[in-house]
Amino acid sequence: MLDHVRIGMDKEEIDTPALLIDLDALEKNIKTMADYYRSKKGAALLPHQKGHRLPIIARKQLASGAVGVSMTSLGLAEYYVNCGITDILITSEVAGVNKIKRLVSLSKHANITVGVDNLENAKQISEIAIANHTKVNVAVELYMGRVSCGVEIEEAKRFVKDLVKFRGINFKGFWWHQGTLSAIKSWEERKRRHFETLDRVAALKDEVEDAGINVEMLSGGYTCTWNITPEYPHLKNIGVQAGSYVFNDWCSREIEGLEVFECALTVLTRCISRPKRDKAIFDFGMNSCSDEHTHNYHNVVGPKFKDLEGVKSIYQREELAAVTLENPDREVRVGDVFEVIPPHADTTAKLHDKYYCIRKGKVEAIWPNYGRGLL
Residue 60 sits at φ, ψ, to 5 deg, of: -65, -40
Q: How far apart, in whole angstroms, are the C-alpha atoms of residue 297 and residue 33?
A: 30
Q: Assess 300 for contact with a copy of itself (CB under 8 A).
A: yes
The 161-190 contact track toward a copy of itself, x by CB under 8 A, reads ------------------x-----------
Question: Quick check: 47 and 242 in contact, CB under 8 A?
Answer: yes
Task: Give the burial class of 120: count Cβ atoms within 10 A of its Cβ; 0-12 exposed, 13-18 middle, 19 or more buried.
Answer: exposed
Is the CB of 39 or the CB of 147 nearer to a copy of itself? 147
Task: Count Cβ atoms below 10 Å from residue 307 Cβ, excluding itself.
Answer: 9
State which residue, 65 or 328, has the beta carbon closest to a copy of itself.
328
Say how many residues touch a copy of itself, by CB under 8 A: 70
Q: Map residue 305 onto helix, strand or coil.
A: strand
Is residue 274 close enough to count as binding a copy of itself by CB under 8 A?
yes
* 1 near a copy of itself (CB under 8 A): yes
Question: Based on CB atoms, which residue is closest to a copy of itself, 39 or 299?
Answer: 299
Stretch binding a copy of itself (CB under 8 A), from 77-85, 145-153, 191-199, 215-223:
145-153
Binding residue (CB under 8 A) for a copy of itself from 81, 129, 151, 251: 151
149 binds a copy of itself per the rule CB under 8 A: yes
Residue 366, beta-bridge partner list = 356
- CB closer to a copy of itself, 40 vs 354: 354
Residue 95 engages a copy of itself in binding (rule: CB under 8 A)? yes
Q: How far is 15 from 145, CA to CA, in rounded Å?
A: 44
Task: Pick one of 4, 98, 277, 307: the residue that binds a copy of itself (CB under 8 A).
Answer: 98
Nearer to a copy of itself, 28 or 362 (CB): 362
Task: Annotate 194-205 with DSSP letters as a single string.
Answer: HHHHHHHHHHHH
Nearer to a copy of itself, 58 or 314 (CB): 314
Collapse the DSSP code of 121 into the 3-class scheme (helix H, G, I; strand E, B; otherwise coil) and give the result. Answer: helix
Binding to a copy of itself, residues 112-141 (CB under 8 A):
117-118, 120-121, 124, 141
Footprint of a copy of itself on 194-253 (CB under 8 A) = none
Which residues have CB under 8 Å from 331's CB, separation 6+?
none
Residue 101: which H helix or E strand, with range?
helix 97-107
CB of 86 to a copy of itself, least distance (A): 22
Q: Does 41 bind a copy of itself (CB under 8 A)?
A: no
Cis peptide upstream of residue 17 (ω within 30 degrees of 0): yes
Chosen residue from 92, 134, 170, 237 binding a copy of itself by CB under 8 A: 92
CA distance linking residue 43 with residue 23, whole number of Å: 26
Distances (CA, A) of 223 to 114, 149, 242, 285: 20, 19, 4, 27
The Cα–Cα gap between 300 and 315 comes to: 10
Give 66-82 as a DSSP string. ---EEES-HHHHHHHHH
Give the Cα separation of 39 and 259 in Å (integer): 20
SS3 category, 57: helix
- Smallest gap from Cβ 185 to a copy of itself, in A, equals 20
Residue 255 interacting with a copy of itself (CB under 8 A): no
Tell me the closest approach of the beta carbon of residue 236 to a copy of itself, in angstroms: 28
The verdict on 327 binding a copy of itself (CB under 8 A) reads no
| Residues at the interface with a copy of itself (CB under 8 A) | 1, 13, 15-18, 50, 72-73, 92-96, 98-99, 102, 117-118, 120-121, 124, 141, 143, 146-152, 179, 270-275, 281, 283, 286-288, 290-291, 293, 297-300, 315, 317-320, 322, 333-335, 337, 346-347, 350-353, 369, 373-375
